[in-house]
Amino acid sequence: MKKHLLYLLLLSCAALSAQTNTQELIDKLTLDEKIYFLIGTGMDIPGVPDDAKPAEAVVGSTSNKVEGAAGTSYAVPRLNIPSVVFADGPAGIRISPERESNPGQTFYATAFPTASSLSSSWNTALAAQVGEAFGIEGRDYGVDFLLAPALNIHRNPLGGRNFEYYSEDPVLGGMITAGFVNGVQSTGLGATIKHFVANNSETNRTALNTVVSERALREIYLRGFKIAIEESNPWAVMSSYNKINGTYASENKELLTDLLREEWGYQGFVMTDWFAGTDAVAQIKAGNDLLMPGTAAQFNAIKKAVEAGELDIKTIDRSVKAILDAYQKTFAFKGYEASGKTNLEEHKAIARKAAHEGMVLLQNVENTLPLKPESKVAVFGTTSYETIAGGTGSGDVNKAYSVSLAEGLKQTALITDAELDAVYEAYVKEERAKIPPKAMFFLKDELVPEKSWTTAELEAIAAKNDVAVFTLGRTSGEFQDREEADDFLLTETEKALLTDLKKAFSAPGKSLVVVLNVGGVIETEFLKNHADAILLTWQPGQEAGNAIADILTGTVNPSGKLPVTFPVALNEVPSSANFPGKPLDPDAEKPANPLQGVPSEEIYKEGIYIGYRYFDSFEVPVSYPFGFGLSYTTFAYENLKAEADDVITLQFSVTNTGDAAGKEIAQLYIAAPQDGLEKPKQELKAFAKTALLQPGQSEQITFTVKPEDLAFYDTTKHAWIVAGGQYTFAVSGALNAVKLKATLVLSETVVEQTKALLTPEQAIEELSRK
C-alpha cells in the first residue's frame, strides 16, 4: 500500500511539472505534428473505405503498441513524446490475450460484472474498488486510457448496450460512475466517460438524429455526466455518434464548448467515438479535440482548412494543449515500463464480490432460498451450462476463463444431478458445434437454443431431486438493439419448459428457482407465476457461476436492488412508441459499411418521464419497481432527524432485525411542490449502502441535500430553480417502500442562471400530467 501511495505521489508531482511544459512542447511542434495530435493512428478494419484507413505516420506509427487495444496516439521521437494507448473496457480491459512480440505469454484481463450489475450494488465504494483493479491491469499491460465507463440512460428496455450503462436514473448512474472513475484514476490510468450524450439506442446510431427537449437533456441525459465530472474529474470525455437536435454530438459547439467547458468548467479533453461524425474541421471547431481512431481523410481536411484560412491555428493549439495536458499524466509520458503481468488472482476475488452485490433477489416464496446444504438440485437451462459473463462488442473482455452456474454449484455442499448435467453438457456441445463463428467480434453472440423435455422425463427428474434451478439467458451488444419477440418476451419453448417444470416439481411439494442471466430488462410477469424464487444475476463476469452459487446457498446474502424498472409489458414503456427511431427514407437500403447507418430520427416525446418517473407519476403498475430487492434478513429504519440550513441534512439509523447478516440500501426520494413547473411525482436524490450488519446491529446514515439537488430546469427562464413550497423527504427501501418521512417548507431560489442551449428546431409534444 505504501509503495502504491508513493507511486501516486510521484505521478502527481510529475504531472504538475509536465503541465508547465505543455506550451513549450506546442511551440516546438510543426503544423503536421500538431494535426497528427488531433487524430489517432488508425484502426484497420476489413470493409472500411480507403479514406477511412489510418493516416500515413510521418511522426511515428504506434498502432500495434499494445495488441488488441482500440487505438493509439502518434509519437514525436525528436521531442521524446511517446504514444499513449487507449483500450476499451466497461467490463474489463479489452486487449488481445496474446502478442506476437511475447510468444508463450498471455495477457488475459479480468472480466468484471457489467455496468447494470455494478449499479445494482448501489455501492460507490465497491465501484471504486473495481475501478482500481481496472487501473492496475491497464497499467500492468501498457494501457494509458480506459475507454470507459459508459453512463447513458436506460431509456428503453431494448437498448442494445444497456448492459454497458448503469441506470434509468442519472443520480444513481452519475454517482456509481464517479466512484468507478475515482478508482481507475487513483492508479494513474485515465478514465473516459461516454457517450456524450443521448446515445441510448444502437440502431442506425451513426446516422441518428436524437430530437429531445432542453429540459429532458439537462435533467435526465446530461445530469449523470455533470455529477460524474464534479465528483471524479475524468481525464477525458467521449462524444457520441448521434446527432442532437440536428447536429452531430462531435460537431456540436453548444454541447462541447458552451456547456461542457464554459458552463460546467470541465478541464479535460474530448475525443470522438470511433469513426464518429462527418466533418473533421467542424469537430475541431466545436471543441472535439481528438478524432479517433484517426484517418488520412481527417488529416488532409484539417490541413487544407488551415492553409485556406478556414481553421485558426489557435483553435488547433487549444485542442493540442488539452490533449497534451492529459497525456502528460499518463504512464507512457512518465516512462513507466509495463510488466505484462498483473494480479489476476486478487482481481477475480473482487469480481466475485462485485457480482455478489449486484445480484437482486426478486422473489422468494416461503423462503425457498437459500437452499439447504446437501439438497439435491436439478440444473436446467442451456445458460446454466454456458453462463453469460458479459455482453458483446467493445464491452466484451478477453478473459482466461468463465465459470458456469453448473460448475459453480458443484463446488458447494449441494448435490447436483450428475446424469442431468451430462445430458445438458452433451446437448450444449452438439448444438454449439452447429453455430458458425462470428464474422466480427462485435456481433451479438448466438445462444444455444433451449432444450425441450417431455412431461415424463421431468417428473422422473423431480422424483429424485429436491429443487430445480433453471437459468434463462439473454445477450446483446453493439450496432443492434434487442427485439421484443423471443428476447424481451420469453420464447414459447421457455414458457413451455417453465410451465412443465413448475408442475413437475410442485406436485411432490418441491420448488423451482429461476436465475436471470440477462444483460437487460425482460418481462417477468410470467415468471412470477411459475417460479418460487427469482434471482436476477445480470451478466456477472468471469466468476459468474461461483458468485451465483454463493447467493443460492446463502454463503452470501443478496443485497442488490434494481437500477431500472421492470415493466409489466413493453408497450407500457412510453419510449417504446418511438424507439429506436425511424429512417427518414423508409425505402433506404442499409449501407454495406458496418460503421454507417441509415439516416434516421428518434423523437423523445416522453420528455423527462423516463423509467420510474413515468410509471410512478402516471400510476402505471409495474412488475418490479425501481430500487426493489429482497434479502434473507429484514431491516428497520428509525429516528429520522431533518435539518435545513445552507444544506438539508437527514439522519437516521438502519438496524438488522432478522437472523442473517446482511446489507441494506437506503434511498432518499424527494417530492417537490407541483404548482408552477410540472415535475415527476418524486425523484431519487441520494442513497447509501450499509456495511454488513450482523443480527441486531445498527448503522447511522446521513444524507446531505444541496439546493442544486432540488432544482428543476425552467426553459422559459433558462435557469435551475428550486420551487417554493412544501417538500416531502421519503427515506425508503425501494420506490414507494417508505420507511421514514419528513416535510420541509423551502423558499423559491434560482440556483443557477444559464443560457439556452441545444434546443430542438422543431416543437415536441411531450408527455404531461396536466
Q: What is the 3-state secondary structure (H, E, C) of 621-637?
A: CEEECCCCCECCCCEEE
| One domain, residues 442 and 400 | yes
The answer, yes or no, to whether residue 125 has pLDDT greater than 60, is yes
Q: Does residue 573 belong to any structural domain of this protein?
A: no
Q: Does residue 369 belong to any structural domain of this protein?
A: yes
Q: Does residue 139 belong to any structural domain of this protein?
A: yes
pLDDT at 59: 37
Beta bridge partners of 145: 86, 190
pLDDT digits (tens, 9 = 90+) for 435-473: 998 877 777 789 999 999 999 999 999 999 999 999 999
CATH number of the structural domain spanning residue 74: 3.20.20.300
| One domain, residues 419 and 532 | yes
The average pLDDT across 688-710 equals: 98
pLDDT digits (tens, 9 = 90+) for 384-428: 999 999 999 888 999 999 999 999 999 999 999 999 999 999 999
Cα distance between residue 303 and residue 352, in whole Å: 50
Cα distance between residue 722 and residue 676, in whole Å: 11
Share above pLDDT 70 across residues of the chain, in percent, rounded to a whole number: 94
| One domain, residues 225 and 353 | no
Share above pLDDT 90 across residues of the chain, in percent, rounded to a whole number: 88
| One domain, residues 258 and 355 | no
The answer, yes or no, to whether residue 11 has pLDDT greater than 60, is no
Q: Does residue 510 belong to any structural domain of this protein?
A: yes
Three-class SS state of 494: helix
Cα distance between residue 191 and residue 691, in whole Å: 28
pLDDT at 439: 76
Q: Which residue has the cell 449523470?
A: 224
| One domain, residues 317 and 390 | no
The answer, yes or no, to whether residue 51 has pLDDT greater than 70, is no
Assign 631 a pLDDT band (cuts: 50, 70, 90).
Answer: very high
The answer, yes or no, to whether residue 184 has pLDDT greater than 80, is yes
The answer, yes or no, to whether residue 214 has pLDDT greater than 80, is yes
Question: Which one, of 245, 216, 219, lies nearest residue 760 by Cα?
Answer: 245
pLDDT at 395: 85
Domain that holds residue 675: 633-753
Question: Which one, of 402, 258, 325, lies nearest residue 755 by Cα?
Answer: 258
Cα distance between residue 132 and residue 485, in whole Å: 39
pLDDT at 336: 95
The answer, yes or no, to whether residue 750 has pLDDT greater than 90, is yes
Residue 371 DSSP label: P
Question: Which one, of 764, 612, 769, lies nearest residue 217 by Cα?
Answer: 764
pLDDT digits (tens, 9 = 90+) for 337-375: 999 999 999 999 999 999 999 999 999 999 999 999 999
Q: Is the dihedral of CA 370, 374, 378, 380 positive or negative?
A: positive
Are the CB atoms for 162 and 116 separated by under 8 Å? Answer: yes
pLDDT at 10: 46
Q: Is 273 a catalytic residue?
A: yes
Assign 594 a pLDDT band (cuts: 50, 70, 90).
Answer: low
pLDDT digits (tens, 9 = 90+) for 137-163: 999 999 999 999 999 999 999 999 999
- Pairing state of beta strands 236-239 and 243-244? unpaired
pLDDT at 334: 95
pLDDT at 45: 55
Q: For residues 448 and 61, which has the higher predicted lDDT (pLDDT)? A: 448
CB atoms within 10 A of CB 674: 14
- Whether the ω angle into residue 154 lies within 30 degrees of 0, i.e. cis, is no
DSSP states along 565-628 = -EES-GGGSGGGGTTT-EESSTTPPPPSSTT----EEEE-TTTT--THHHHHHTT--EEE-TT-
The average pLDDT across 167-176 equals: 98
CATH number of the structural domain spanning residue 424: 3.40.50.1700
Tell me the backbone φ, ψ of residue 142, rounded to 5 degrees.
Answer: 90, 20
Q: Is the dihedral of CA 454, 455, 460, 461 positive or negative?
A: positive
| One domain, residues 9 and 136 | yes
| One domain, residues 386 and 308 | no
| One domain, residues 644 and 542 | no
- Helix (H) or strand (E) segment spanning residue 495: helix 492-506
CB atoms within 10 A of CB 12: 11
The average pLDDT across 485-509 equals: 97
Q: Return the amino acid letter for 292.
A: M
pLDDT digits (tens, 9 = 90+) for 78-119: 999 999 999 999 999 999 999 988 899 999 999 999 999 999
pLDDT digits (tens, 9 = 90+) for 528-574: 999 999 999 999 999 999 999 999 999 999 999 999 999 999 999 99
| Average model confidence (pLDDT) across the chain | 93
| One domain, residues 114 and 163 | yes
| One domain, residues 39 and 70 | yes
- Residues ≥6 apart with Cβ < 8 Å to 287: 253, 256, 257, 260, 261, 270, 319
Tell me the backbone φ, ψ of residue 373, rounded to 5 degrees.
Answer: -55, 140
| One domain, residues 365 and 482 | yes
Name the active-site residue from 140, 273, 289, 466.
Answer: 273
- Residues ≥6 apart with Cβ < 8 Å to 735: 612, 616, 625, 626, 627, 628, 667, 669, 682
Report the domain count for the chain: 3
CATH number of the structural domain spanning residue 734: 2.60.40.10
Cβ burial 27-60 (10 Å sphere, 16+ → b, else e): eebeeebbbbbbbbbbbebeebeeebbbbebebb
- Helix (H) or strand (E) segment spanning residue 128: helix 124-141
pLDDT at 9: 47
| One domain, residues 526 and 401 | yes
Cα distance between residue 654 and residue 633, in whole Å: 13
The average pLDDT across 32-53 equals: 73
Question: Which one, of 549, 461, 450, lies nearest residue 501 by Cα?
Answer: 461
